[in-house]
Amino acid sequence: MHTDDTSGAATLRAPRAEDGSAIWRLVRDGGSLDLNSPYLYLLICTDFAATSIVAADADDAPVGFVAAYRPPADPKAAFVWQVGVASAARGQGLAKRLIKGMLARDANRDATELTATVTPSNQASMALFHGVARDLGAQVTERERFAASLFPEGHEAERELRIGPLPERADPEVP
């Protein structure tokens, strides 16, 4: 836990199947993320549970999540697939806490880089990843990953952010 963290009301824990619908609703209601199928969120909460993380409120309901995995083609990286925080819980450091908590999980502790893709117009997302890099004392490199033309209809290009080298992580809040 970091001392600049004011999101302490939420508890970080591993995702489970029962969170899938709530995470789907959080993404649906959250604005800028691509909404995937409910089934995909069930897969994230089960097959990708060891590398992902959830923030839960006092009723154990998800108020934030990071869907992440170790790409088979880039195993030294922990790839952030989606990160979302419920509107009411934003601006308190919760997304940064989730990402740091995710990186410290047992299944991610040997990752030397964090990768993600962002659309350049998503200023919150850009600020989030640059803020994480600054906190971790890591560099950010950027390149185009998926050109707009690769998407079936109106979608900005997705740029890859590669953050590293990552520092050693302390004992995980969520094993």
Q: Give me 138's structure tokens.
A: 């890591």
Residue 53 contacts ligand COA per CB under 6 A = no
Out of 125, 133, 161, 164, name the contact with ligand COA by CB under 6 A. 125
Q: What's the min distance (Å) between Cβ of 3 and ligand COA?
A: 13
Q: Does 124 bind ligand COA (CB under 6 A)?
A: yes
User: Do strands 62-69 and 53-56 pair parallel, antiparallel, or not at all (unpaired)?
Assistant: antiparallel
Are 57 and 22 contacting, i.e. CB atoms less than 8 angstroms apart?
A: no
> Least Å distance between CB 94 and ligand COA?
4
**Count of residues in contact with ligand COA, rule CB under 6 A:** 23
Choice from 30, 57, 146, 156 touching ligand COA (CB under 6 A):
30
The answer to whether residue 6 forms part of the interface with ligand COA (CB under 6 A) is no
Least distance CB 91 / ligand COA (angstroms): 5
What is the spatial distance between Cα 124 and Cα 32, in angstroms, rounded to a whole number?
Answer: 10
Nearer to ligand COA, 74 or 110 (CB): 74
In angstroms, the CA 148 to CA 155 distance is 6
DSSP 46-64: HTTTTT-EEEE-TTS-EEE
Q: Are 87 and 30 in contact (CB under 8 A)?
A: yes
Determine if 128 is a binding residue for ligand COA (CB under 6 A). yes
**How distant, in Å, are the alpha carbons of 28, 35, 91, 136, 172 from that of 31?**
7, 9, 15, 28, 30
Token pair listed for 58: 């006092």
Show the site string, 74-113: x = touches ligand COA by CB under 6 A, - = not.
Answer: --------xxxx----xxxxxxx-----------------
Provide the binding-site residues for ligand COA, judged by CB under 6 A. Answer: 30-33, 82-85, 90-96, 118, 122-125, 127-128, 131
